[in-house]
Amino acid sequence: MAFWLIASLLLVVAAALLVVPTFRRADRVPGTTRDSLNKAFYHERLAELAQDEQQGIIAERPVLVQELQENLLSDIPGRADAPVRPVGRWVLIPGVLVLVLVTVGFYLKTGGLVQVAAWQQAVRDLPALRARVADDRAAPLTMEEVARLGLGLRTALRDDPQNVENWLMLGRVGMALNNAATATQAFGRAYALQPENREVQLAYADVLTRSADPADQRQAETLLKTLGSADPADLRVLNLLAFNAFQQGNYPKAIEGWGLMLKVLPANDPRAEMLRRSIQQARSKAGMDNTQLGVAVTLSPEAARGLPAQGMVLISVTDGSSPVPVAVKRLPLSRFPLALTIDDTNAMMPERLLSSIHQVKVKVRISPDGSATPRSGEWAGESSLQPFSGQKHINVEINQQVP
């Protein structure tokens, strides 16, 4: 309101500077014409001639007066000058309008009126947006609404910089908008205000872990280890510790952490698939995907004569100690001999990979219906238990039937 009052006052002053001079009455200032100047000069000259005659400077005053009169007559114009009419005050109205339009136009172009209006609207919308974030049943915010929420939070924090909840929410807004600087600064301010708050510690450790700065990652690791000591079963801490190890290039530790989480999570938990992908990515970064087991499968003459018309070839790899397979591969029944490769992508469980065992035993079975449970009469074969160091080729002959 103060801005608009000052702007309006300045505009009125500028218009007044344009209009006020026209209110001065023309008749208050005597008009100066050519005739009046000539008359004034004539009378002044007559007075000078009279003084000169009294002082004896001149002796022929009448002659000089006659010459002066002749000069005056010769300088009188033939006709009187037309009177000059003053400019009407109403003529200045277009000028005032132009002044107002140009001023307002420049402000609308350069004054940021649209941005100011958007900022004020964001401040008004802050309570409603905050309520939607807290309501699990409410529709999620769009990216535009998230940006407005952040703008409203910044304004609220300007008036109340000690509000930890607002700093936490602003940090989450920064992460949602992929603005690492905003998220780091906001969580850092919250941590400075309440360093013992577990939620604040987790949020700050999360954003520091995602930083590309090794110093930030080490600070996050220290925070997470403290949090893990207080609650070793907290999955959020375990996940961040594994991700922190991944960010620092400690891929075996990251795999170990995510594998531990898989053991804790229920089998049908949707987070399990994400953890498996994370483990696979860590393995790829560590070069563990170079582990390969080559298998060549052949048939004995008896097995070749007894093959079903269609079915599946089931290949399983065990460590020789546990009957539970480490890796399994299924292929449609086709021509023999059959050559294939097994690696960690065929693992049954992410925490028990082919690359983690040091001896292997390969079993091959032909199932007419692809069943995982062996049935009497199905043809099968297996290899002997052999050492395994990451690269191996094993030959298996299918030469016996399941009893």
Q: What is the CATH number of the domain that holds 208?
A: 1.25.40.10
The domain boundary, picked from 241, 265, 286, lies at 286
CA–CA separation, 103 and 109 (whole Å): 10
What average pLDDT score do residues 211-224 get? 92
pLDDT band at 309 (very low <50, low <70, confident <90, very high): confident
Give me the domain span that covers residue 209.
Answer: 195-286
Residue 59 lies in a domain: no
Is 319 found in the same domain as 278?
Answer: no
49 or 202, greater pLDDT = 202
Q: Is there a contact between 379 and 400 (Cβ–Cβ < 8 Å)?
A: yes
pTM: 0.53
Residue 206 lies in a domain: yes
Is 270 found in the same domain as 320?
Answer: no
Is 386 found in the same domain as 304?
Answer: yes
CA–CA separation, 244 and 374 (whole Å): 44
**Which pLDDT does position 46 carry in this prediction?**
75
**Which pLDDT does position 29 carry in this prediction?**
46
The domain boundary, picked from 286, 317, 332, lies at 286
Lowest mean pLDDT among 57-71, 196-210, 296-310, 365-379: 57-71
CA–CA separation, 92 and 109 (whole Å): 26
Share in percent of the chain as helix, strand, coil (round to 5):
60, 15, 30
**Which pLDDT does position 1 carry in this prediction?**
67
**Which pLDDT does position 223 carry in this prediction?**
94
SS3 102: helix
Lowest mean pLDDT among 17-31, 60-74, 168-182: 17-31
pLDDT band at 181 (very low <50, low <70, confident <90, very high): very high
Measure CA 113 to chain center: 24
In the predicted structure, residue 194 carries a pLDDT above the cut 90: yes
Residue 332 lies in a domain: yes
Q: Is there a contact between 174 and 182 (Cβ–Cβ < 8 Å)?
A: yes
The domain boundary, picked from 227, 261, 286, lies at 286
Q: Which two tokens stand for residue 90?
A: 């109403």
Is 298 found in the same domain as 278?
Answer: no
Is 393 found in the same domain as 306?
Answer: yes
Is 261 found in the same domain as 313?
Answer: no
Is 391 found in the same domain as 364?
Answer: yes
What average pLDDT score do residues 66-70 get? 71
Is 267 found in the same domain as 213?
Answer: yes
Is 395 found in the same domain as 322?
Answer: yes
What average pLDDT score do residues 72-94 get? 61
Residue 184 lies in a domain: no
Sequence-distant contacts of 235-242: CB under 8 A, at least 24 apart: 235/261, 235/264, 235/265, 236/202, 237/202, 238/264, 240/202, 240/205, 240/206, 240/209, 242/278
CA–CA separation, 378 and 135 (whole Å): 58
Is 281 found in the same domain as 258?
Answer: yes
Burial of 10 (0-12, 13-18, 19+ CB in 10 A): exposed
**Which pLDDT does position 24 carry in this prediction?**
60
Q: What is the CATH number of the domain that holds 334?
A: 2.60.40.2990
Is 310 found in the same domain as 391?
Answer: yes
Domain count of the fold of the chain:
2
**Which pLDDT does position 31 carry in this prediction?**
47
Is 199 found in the same domain as 256?
Answer: yes
